[in-house]
Structure 1
Amino acid sequence: MKMTIDKGITTFFMCVLFLVFSCKDAFEDKTFTAYEDLPIAGYLKQHPEKYSMWVEVLEKADLFNTLNIHVVYTHFVPVNEGVQRYLQALNLESVAKMTKEDANYLVRYHLIPGVSIDRGQFQAGAINDLTATDDNLFIEFRSGGLESIYLNGESRFNGFDIKATNGIIHSIDDVLAPLTATVADRLEDPKYSIFRQAVEEAGFLEKLTTVYTEGTDASGNPVQKRFRYTAFVVADETYAKVGIRTFNDLLDYLDVESGSNYSDVENGLHTYIAYHLLDQQRSYADLGQFPEGVRKMNLPTLAAGELIKVSESVDGLVLNEDLASHQAVRFQEANIPCKNGVVHEIDHWMPVFVPEQVPVVWEFTDYPDIAANVTQYRNASLGSQYNKTFALGDLTSITWSAQPETRSNVLTYRNNRSADGIWYTETLNHDHLRVELGESGWIQMKSPTIVRGKYNVKVVWPSTKTSANTGICAFVLDNVMLYSRLVLSNTRTDRVLTQELGTVEFPETTDHTLRILSLDGKLMTLDYIQFDPVE
């Protein structure tokens, strides 16, 4: 697999690589100022009454001068009292007693390179842009307005939007403890003892411990895959409300035979735990990102064919709301951050629920193996266009047959920057797939699980301007021709287009197989397909 990146960001990434992979301050004696304004490190040094101890940390880490270069950063900076509390917790007498490596990692954990994120961009949940340690930080809004906004649930903001010549500073009360706990580690909390035992018995513990896997691509180049999960976790006291006080009680409620093979995919315990897991990170804010005009959606879980319904209520998001009884599952504690995802504690034991039909938006880039292999997956703050090309066999979610079979650059994931016009503003999550199969080639993928019923189907795609009709394709759903000829390009201007493909009726709740045929072999640009319920 090869990743192609526009030449315009080469210099930027060279700078960032110095920051991310080196403890040496590569920019010593190369600081800059603009008129009376100051870069980040310069500003901090000009305010010793608040930030002198963090400046010591920067200098210990050999990163002080790095934060004075003309590369954009968002930096979360703890005040002196917070640094002092951090040192006391570690039994360190001073910053000088820290190791250079620890100081370096600590600074990078508080730093998001390449983007300037102001308070107006904050929303509850994960900040999409990663820190220099490849982690998400989480924003939490508590009652009390601007005085009660927290980072990672542990450090209160005491100042926002301090503008520097090379980015933005947000002042926080306390040092953030670098995130190392996985989803599995969070389940070690004694209050989750029943759920944690169920996770282990059902065979999910290793999965929820995994952060990265290392491997090589077809050319022998090293490849690192990053995994993230969402877990809806039940506390022991919540189980107790329905009479579940032990693991065996849970088995009884699930009608699962004690001592059976709990890790078998057909086992009721395995299904129950899988139903509480998503294979992508979904913070509270992410769960509330509904398509336009939609106020509820069904999310696929790791339990085959089983869906969690997310909907809006007067007091926030709820899960699995029953339309007849109006009973629903609510969040007891949202956005517990993990190194490999996020945990939400819920207020109900949440057995498998059968939701009603809702609009389904099937985004062609919404697959966990794409997310695991893409370093700038859905990054909304790119400085330059990002492309990731996949080879046949790199993905399990998408397969294809190209003409000729040896054809390269068949499938490319593209994430666009804000300067790229409609490719950024009008495509879902700023990304899309670009496919060149050759004449008579095909590409195939499975849909999310869709509740049985009748649906109108439409496809939405970014259409390129060309001098003649190109990107001609056909859509085959579950081996039945859905739409026999669609021209994806247009002769007017780059724009996002929509085409009704027809009406389908699904007799059961399951996923479906879509095959797109390339009739002329030219570029196909694919964003998403939407299924709208027919009453």
Structure 2
Amino acid sequence: MKKKLNIHKLAYLVILSAMVFFVINACNKEQYTQTTTEDVNITGYLEKNPDQFSLFLQILERSGTKGYLGAYGKYTMFTPNNTAVNEWLKSINKTGIDQMTPAELKDVVRFHVLADTIATTKFTDGKLAQITLYGQYLQTGVAFKGGVSSYVVNKTTTILLSNVRTGNGIIHVIDHVLVPATKTLAQSIEANDRYKIFTEALKATGFYDSLNYAQTNIPDTTRRFQTVILESDSALKAAGFNSYTELRNKLSKGNPRSHTDSLWMYVAYHISTGASYTPDIISSPSISTLVPSEIVTTKLVGTKILLNEDEFNGVIEPGVEVNRTFSNQTASNGVLHESKSFYKIKPRVPTGVFFDITDQPELKAMAAWRVPGQGFNLIANGKFIPAGIRGDRIPGQPITYAVSSLPIGASDGRSYANRDVIQFNASTNNTARNFWIEIRTPMLVKGKYKVWICYTQNQNGPLDQIGIDVGTPQEQLLPNLVDFTQSLTSSGVPTANAARSDADGLMLTNGFKRYMATTIETATDGVTKGLQPVSVNNQWSVMVGKLAGVADIKTTDRHWLRLTALRGNQTANMNIDMIHFIPIDDDQNYPRFHPTGAIFKRP
């Protein structure tokens, strides 16, 4: 039965056609169209276009997969046209589909099908989120040639027509048959002459065997896929290891298969669970490794992916660069990457981390950052501006970044460290405010730390519980609640005793401390004076360091600190300046801080 188009639909089609014509002729970038077909299923569409897909239909029929692709469901099929199938047959020395077994052809189909509808709008520069029915991931990206951009799959296959919607899924027409990886990670490494030294290390430590399983035979399902970042022979030689023997003699204590042996840990440090392609590496601040509680940190600087380039207390520890030319190598059970230089576990000891929470890359890029008297909203387009801050919902009232406008030398108790502070809205009964806020910490070396929340007292402040990595296996809830209405006098030290020599010890005993430098302190240069008065009415007490408790950090990494409101009225807010993570046996009172950024050590 023919369907009639009403005048409105006809007008819409005319306008749409004109727009498409304009876009296509306005630039040379390839446009990816969405096509809708009246066919009820994928196979129906292929049958209506035999000039393009008759050979792939033969593959479906001989493999016995035509039925389920014609049934109800949600599928995405990357469909090679007849030219692509002919080229593939020629490459494997076949002249027809009938020369392949149904089982072989079934694997071909399964590698081209995903059990979900994935349009190009969901493509990323990396692996697709959904795995193929074959059990391997597909990589997608965009290639530019002759001024024209095209979607590519697995680096070599171009999408000729995208987003053809059928009754049970989406078809993307491609110009090559996709071929799955057949070698395991271990086989792929051994087959490459670049990695002879690392191959020997794999075999000596036993990791060759664990990286050599076919997916279906892997005893540990958590390692169905693994990622290896390894050094080439040339990179190891540049580090002074001209052979495996030299590497073993330097790292091994005698038994490379022992989990306490440095050679075993070196290899384990280069392996992580899951299939992580470079976009996955970039999107995460760290990669877990097979060494318990040891991670590799990641950072994107320009176009460079850097591993273990970390900053501790303002000092940058140089890392190593990922060699993108030899990365994203898919194996049957994971993915390989290469680093340009030798790297191993970094020996570190816990050290104090004094985190000014305004030290966020996105804020530092703003012209108003730490400009006296200026501030701005931390919410833009419904999201937090800094990636290092998040909440349970976006508040209706702005979360603000504020900068002190007081001149240096003023005796006001609210002269923040580095002159700035962030004001968060928090409440238990106002849906326009946050129930909780999370802040990403700087790198913390595994160990035990006393956690201090440093804030400026507010009579309308909330009562908060502090948690570390909430919702993860490493979740910790710290025992002491932080009441933002409290000043330093809540420690039991009255204003009259604020200048006494024992005042700091008394405050510390009750879980409080000064964190701003006072007017009686000097910096290490003996010149710079602190701003916070020892005792001027009650102003001395408004800049508060409150002990939330001891956090047992199990993994050297950046962590999420959560502040959850347990009490807060309709106008509650908390003005947070710094968070201190101080090893439990270190001095908890010092260093102290100055609005100019100067640091005061214990006199």
User: If the TM-score is normalised by the length of the shorter chain, which range does it land in?
Assistant: 0.5 to 0.7
Residue of structure 2 in register with 1:308 after alignment: 296
- What's the offset of the Cα at 1:334? 3.0
Question: Deviation digits for residues 30-82 of structure 1, max 9, x if unmatched?
Answer: xxxx9834521222232233322212211221222432222110001112222
Write out aligned runs for 1:385-464 (5 A): 450=446, 455=451, 457-458=466-467
**1:193 has 2:186 as partner:** no
Distance, in Å, in 1 between the alignment partners of 2:338 and 2:150 is: 21
Q: Is the 8 A contact 1:305 1:449 kept in 2?
A: no
Q: Is the 8 A contact 2:450 2:548 kept in 1?
A: no
**1:202 has 2:205 as partner:** yes
After superposition, the Cα gap between the structure-2 partners of 1:212 and 1:196, relative to the gap in structure 1 and judged at 3 Å, is: same
Distance, in Å, in 2 between the alignment partners of 1:238 and 1:461 is: 40
For normalisation by structure 1, the TM-score amounts to 0.57
SS of residue matched to 2:187: helix
Residue of structure 2 in register with 1:84 after alignment: 86
Residue of structure 2 in register with 1:101 after alignment: 103
Distance, in Å, in 2 between the alignment partners of 1:168 and 1:284 is: 27
Residue of structure 2 in register with 1:111 after alignment: 113
Question: Deviation digits for residues 155-205 of structure 1, max 9, x if unmatched?
Answer: 232332122221111122211223332211221222211111111111111
**1:504 has 2:498 as partner:** no
SS of residue matched to 2:93: coil
Q: Which amino acid aligns with 1:340?
A: N
Q: Which amino acid aligns with 2:202?
A: V
**1:328 has 2:320 as partner:** yes
Q: Which amino acid aligns with 1:341?
A: G
Q: Which amino acid aligns with 2:88?
A: Y
Q: Which amino acid aligns with 1:41?
A: T
Matched-pair identity in %: 24
Residue of structure 1 in register with 2:279 after alignment: 285
Structure 1: give runs of 5+ residues left out of the alignment.
1-33, 216-222, 291-296, 360-425, 427-447, 463-474, 486-499, 512-531
Q: Is the 8 A contact 1:138 1:335 kept in 2?
A: no
CA RMSD of aligned residues (A): 3.8
- What's the offset of the Cα at 1:278? 0.9
Residue of structure 1 in register with 2:228 after alignment: 231
Q: Which amino acid aligns with 1:284?
A: T
Which structure has the bigger radius of gyration?
A: 2
Distance, in Å, in 2 between the alignment partners of 1:187 and 1:213 is: 20
Q: Which amino acid aligns with 2:256?
A: Y
Residue of structure 1 in register with 2:341 after alignment: 348
Write out aligned runs for 1:5-16 (5 A): none
Write out aligned runs for 1:249-268 (5 A): 249-251=246-248, 254-256=250-252, 260-268=254-262
Distance, in Å, in 2 between the alignment partners of 1:43 and 1:320 is: 50
Q: Is the 8 A contact 1:450 1:509 kept in 2?
A: yes
- What's the offset of the Cα at 1:325? 6.0
Structure 2: give runs of 5+ residues left out of the alignment.
1-35, 356-434, 436-443, 454-465, 482-545, 558-577, 582-603
Q: Is the 8 A contact 2:298 2:307 kept in 1?
A: yes
- What's the offset of the Cα at 1:246? 1.8
**1:482 has 2:483 as partner:** no
- What's the offset of the Cα at 1:212? 4.2
Aligned length in residues: 350
Distance, in Å, in 2 between the alignment partners of 1:201 and 1:452 is: 35
Residue of structure 2 in register with 1:275 after alignment: 269
Q: Which amino acid aligns with 1:204?
A: F
Distance, in Å, in 1 between the alignment partners of 2:239 and 2:105 is: 48
